[in-house]
Amino acid sequence: MTRVHHDAQVPGDECVSGIAGIRCVAVIGLGLVGGSMTRDLAALGVRVLGADTDDRTVHSARTEGVVHSSLEESLDGIAEADVVVLAVPVDEAPRLLHDIAPRLRSAALVTDVGSTKRSIVAAAQAAGLGACFVGAHPLAGDHRSGWTASRPGLCRGARVYLCPTETASLAALELANTLWTALGGVTEVIDAATHDRLLGFTSHLPQATASALAHVLRDAGVAPHALGPGGHDVTRLAASSTAMWSAIARDNADHLDAALGALEQQLAALRDAVRRGDVDAVQLFFDTAREWRTSDV
């Protein structure tokens, strides 16, 4: 969190009155991540503009005082913002970038919170926002979603991947770092292609696996309450926002395809060892997995 002197002429009179270089942030999409950001930004003394397709959400955010002004559907008011954050499903972000590009005036940074980065970074470049766009992906979601799940401190301690366009300015990257660090995130710069491959394995595959496991249990006539603590954890993500994950699966289809294929192969190998009663192979399978999982945690 960056604290600045509210009045430099009164030394010692420090108070939370904004983030260095960021006076006004527009957050488009007040779901779990966007909504949580408005709470933290407002608490940091930043002026927050908000927009959401659900009028009740905007009303709640304004009533709670974490959104100071709502953006009209035209998004014209966005001209006031120093920073614009897109917190919408990954398949809606490209169109939105195109819509807001001509309306921006003083924005030094446009960023987002999506789980895939190649298409949004390309869309920002295509919309003429290459210099000020630094995509972001905070690893801060959970299986709950929407404004009602939003809360202060969601990003505290979370890794936040930053994916600048190829033509992003150093100033935009520094401002993105300032913003996300102020929200408690631990930033890491990574190119969009590397991000999407990595997250295909570390995030999208675990999500798809949890949902596939839910299908198997459902088809077997098992109720969720029959799960023990382990099965509960492994299937938890199946309760996640399905619109969000469908969009991610489509946007990162190539990497998810490869990751799913690799998982099918591992399951088939275990199944083969189990069927054959191959004691050593089964033991080695669990040993190797355990060695990896306990290697640096």
- Number of C-beta neighbours around residue 105 at 10 A: 8
**Residue 237 in the binding site for its own copies (CB under 8 A):** yes
Minimum CB separation of residue 225 from its own copies in Å reads: 5
If one asks whether residue 54 binds its own copies (CB under 8 A), the answer comes out as no
Nearest to its own copies of 7, 254 (CB atom): 254
# of chain residues touching its own copies (CB under 8 A): 83
3-state secondary structure of 194: helix
The least CB distance from residue 45 to its own copies, in Å, is 29
Span near its own copies by CB under 8 A; candidates 94-102, 169-177, 178-186, 215-223: 215-223
Torsion of Cα atoms, 46 then 50 then 55 then 61, to 10°? -20
CB 154 within 8 A of CB 110: no
Q: Which stretch binds its own copies (CB under 8 A): 79-87, 126-134, 174-182, 250-258?
A: 250-258
Could you tell me which of 224, 244, 220 has the C-alpha nearest to residue 234? 224
Asked if 119 interacts with its own copies (CB under 8 A), we say no
What is the SS3 assignment for 183?
A: coil
Residue 82's contacts (CB-CB under 8 Å, 6 or more residues apart) are 21, 22, 23, 24, 25, 106, 107, 108, 109
* Range 2-13 burial, b when 16+ CB lie within 10 A, else e: eeeeeeeeeeee
- Return the ∠ at Cα 237 (arms to 289 and 40), rounded to 5°: 115
Return the range that interacts with its own copies (CB under 8 A); candidates 10-18, 80-88, 103-111, 241-249: 241-249
Residues 144 to 163 in contact with its own copies, rule: CB under 8 A = 158-159
Report if residue 220 touches its own copies, rule: CB under 8 A: yes
Q: Residue 131 or 239: which CB sits closer to its own copies?
A: 239
171 binds its own copies (CB under 8 A): no
Could you say which residues in the range 262-291 bind its own copies, by CB under 8 A?
262-264, 266-268, 270-271, 274-275, 277, 279, 282-283, 285-290
Tell me which amino acid residue 132 is: C
What residues have CB less than 8 Å from 254, skipping those under 6 apart? none
Distance of closest approach, residue 291 Cβ to its own copies, in angstroms: 8
Binding of residue 243 to its own copies (CB under 8 A):
yes
Tell me if 105 contacts its own copies by CB under 8 A: no
Q: Among residue numbers 6 through 45, which ones bind its own copies (CB under 8 A)?
A: none
CA-derived radius of gyration, the chain:
22
Among the listed ranges 6-14, 39-47, 127-135, 141-149, the one in contact with its own copies (CB under 8 A) is 141-149
The reply on whether position 180 binds its own copies by CB under 8 A is no
